[in-house]
Structure formats: structure tokens, C-alpha cells
Amino acid sequence: MRQLQGRGYAPDLAAAAEDAELVRRALARDGDAFRTIMQKYNQRLYRIARSILRNDGDAEDVVQEAYVRAFTHLESFRGDAGLATWLGRITMNEALGRLRLRTQRPSVELTAVEAQGTDAEIIQFPLTAKSEDPERTMAQREIMQLVEQATDNLPEVYRVVFIARVIEGMSVEDTAELLGLRPETVKTRLHRARRLVREHLDKRIGPILLEAFPFAGKRCERMTDAVMARLGLSD
């Protein structure tokens, strides 16, 4: 980590200080500190586990186990890497262990796992904005499901990078540190992942785009009522 810091990859100092304080409080058995850590990193760790396992229930179980393992050995956290990276690595190890049990293989390396042939399960991410228009809401949900399916269908080595960089919004350097890769490798895998996602969406999104810019439901009624009122024909 010191070498990375020398190259300009130092974590945000304020975030690092906040995490260090949370760890100090957690070591003192402060329950609020444990809760804050989990609320802060739940989504990231879940997405990491889900990117490996492609199963909602397994991913949730893995995150719980990762927290138990991390909190039980919290004194081993030295701050050489950020708390998010430390927790992320523990979660990845737990997820890969679960994957080994599932596939009954003697070993599973992150760089060697191939895309699995089972049907992808879909993470139901919340929509970013509420809509009173049911047609638009349905179209947004279908597009979101297509993106999630395209992500789930990525080969393992690309999917984890795509989740970390695009969905979780981690930097190239943080992703490289988390996965033990060179930044150049992260960029290459992200480029290929985006190309595969685009190819998947190109094949699937056409029928949904036919429903784009819907003008029905409440919007249609609202405009019709307004015109009728202006014509003096409203009830």
C-alpha cells in the first residue's frame, strides 16, 4: 500500500480517518460503530459477493459471514489498506469459498472462473426516481432488468471489475487494489466488459425501445383534460 500511495493512490484522508475511528470504537465493543460500518459498506460488499455468486441469498449469507470473520479478527486490521478494501477482500474470499463448495472443484481462482451456464438471477436495484406514470415505470424496470441480466451474463473476470467500477463507482486504483490486479488490467477488463454489455443490450433492448417516451396513462388524461377545459368542453 505504501508503494501505491507513493504513486498517488492514497485513499481519501478524511474517509480513512473516519474508518480508523470506527475501528477504534468497534475494538472497544461500541455497538453503534459496528452498525455504522455495516451500513456504510453493506451495499458494496453485497455487490462484490453477488458479482461472484450470482445468487441473492448466497451473496447475503457471504456478507454476513464476512462481517463475522472481520469483526472477530478486527485487531488484525492495521490500516495498510483501506477498511473498504480489507472488508472487500474478506468478502471475496468468502464468496470464492462458497463458489468452490457449489461447483465441487478443488480450487477456484478468480482469474480462471468461466461464465456459468445457469440462468442469471436478477438483482432488483431500486429505481432512482419515483414516477406516477405506470407505463414509464414499467419501461424503466424492464431496462434495469436488462442491464442486470447483461451484467450477470458477463464472464467472472469481467463481471467483478464491471460491478466494482461501473455499478459501485470505485476508482481504477481502488478496484486494482481490491482485486490484486494492475490498473492497466482493470482498464482492459472494463473495456471488454462494457463491449459485452453493449452487445447484450443491442440484442435485447429493441422491443423495449418501442415503448420509449410513452404518452398514456395519467399524462394522456392530464393533457386531454387541459385541452377540453380550454375549449370549454370539460365536465
Domains of the chain listed by start with CATH number:
1-108 (1.10.1740.10), 125-235 (1.10.10.10)
Predicted confidence at residue 132, as pLDDT, reads 56
Q: Is the pLDDT of residue 4 over 60?
A: no
Least-confidence region, from 113-117, 159-163, 217-221: 113-117
Q: Report the alpha-carbon distance of residue 227 to residue 145 in Å, rounded.
A: 37
Q: How confident is the model at residue 24 (pLDDT cuts 50, 70, 90)?
A: very high
- Over residues 198-218, the mean pLDDT reads 72
pLDDT value at residue 207: 65
Helices (H), 54-171: 56-72, 83-103, 134-152, 156-162
Q: Give yes or no for residue 59 having a pLDDT over 80.
A: yes
Helical pair 13-27 and 31-53, crossing angle rounded to 10 deg: 110
Answer yes or no: is pLDDT of 101 > 70. Answer: yes
126-130, 153-157, 162-166, 184-188: range with highest mean pLDDT: 184-188
* Cα–Cα distance for residue pair 29/32, rounded to 1 Å: 9
Determine the Cα–Cα distance for residues 163 and 177; give it in Å rounded to an integer.
Answer: 15
Tell which wins on pLDDT, 110 or 202: 202
Mean pLDDT of 106-122: 42
Residue 5 — pLDDT band, cuts 50, 70, 90?
Answer: very low
pLDDT at 37: 93
Please provide the size of the chain in residues: 235
Residue 168 DSSP code? S
Residue 111 φ/ψ region, left for φ over 0, alpha for ψ in the -120 to 50 degree band, beta for the rest: alpha
pLDDT confidence of 202, banded at 50, 70, 90? confident
